[in-house]
Structure 1
Amino acid sequence: MTTADLLLRALQDCDELPLRPLPERAAELLRALDAPPRLAAHLRAVHDVAGQLVEWVRVRYPHLRFDTEAALFGAATHDVGKTLYPAELSSPGSEHEKAGRQLLLDHGVDGRLARFAATHASWSDPDAELGIGVEDLLVSLADKIWKNKRVPDLEDLVVNRLAAASSRPVWEEFMELDEILARIGEGADARLSFQAAYPVHG
């Protein structure tokens, strides 16, 4: 099976795990970039988790204004820079972040959608904190929870935004967020297996 075949399968496969499809524009971009199949699988897993988080927030916090489309597109493309730095699919690295944002801009993606490639790992940067929206936090959270990784500092930021929107006590919002993250985290093994089934290279 060729790399292109594996990429297409990673984008469309629902046999093993019923993950929602990526936004068509994101899928087209990954095909045009001949993205590594493992990257496509990872983006689908994170995008699916982001979708679950977005739906939960929209139901529980109907008055919280945020850009659903941007959050989902951001989750679907946050690691696109790894097409340029494929070694970062299996080893730590941050070269893909700014490179991914620039890659999206170069392919005509609006800056409000391209930003997630850079912000998904910078939520803890105090200089960036004021510019980080709910959408950015949800993408960052999805990029952790897809593999059931809990990051207290990130979750605290999310809880504070939710408490400000609801006027409910922070502890109450923490309990609610903890419950949904634990529930989503239960699917981590299946998502990790789905990603691992696809190679970095063909």
Structure 2
Amino acid sequence: MDIEEQPSLRETKRQKTLEAIEDNATRLILERGFDNVTIEDICAEAGISKRTFFNYVESKESVAIGHTAKLPTDEEREAFLAKRHENIIDTVFDLVINLFGNHDNSKSGVAGDIMRRRKEIRVKHPELAVQHFARFHQAREGLEHLIVEYFEKWPGSQHLDEPADREAIAIVGLLISVMLQGSREWHDMPQGTQADFQACCRKAIKNTFLLRGGFSE
């Protein structure tokens, strides 16, 4: 029987510290407003120093809206390009969840509370959403370029009779769309976890393909 690998004590402490920063920051910002909360306020509530704060997050803005999207790491790029994938949709789906979804691995309800608060913060403070969307589009284009590179490395792996960049755009667009659908269902869960988030996204993929029969050629 496989034994689930447990995080190290250092990693557990790191996750708890980051969670404390994000939890208190998002709570204070919703209670007082973004401009009325200082980094010192967040540090006091989280029980950390200002130096520790900047070891974990870039700024008050980033902790308010979260790291909503990121580019693939060198390791992720190498792993993706290393072999031909039997199901490109499944493989890219995992990347989309990692790059665009919640990056917190906590199974507690706190991670869900943080994500819901961030959504509310972006609504109340649209000026912060500019950073959110800039990162989103940068990550989307980075993933599209990675898929094109994959098609070039593995000839014959495309499914559409289209240029590689058009198929890459179609794949990423489809999966981001279903992730957003899954996210809406997830937000309705009182104590949704990261595992619930992924399950909602997979359900959205299934629903999308079930609807395919309703489209005319």
Name the TM tier (shorter chain): 0.3 to 0.5
TM-score (norm 1): 0.34
Higher relative contact order (CA 8 A, sep 6+): 1
TM-score (norm 2): 0.33
- Higher share in helix: 2
Rg larger in structure: 2
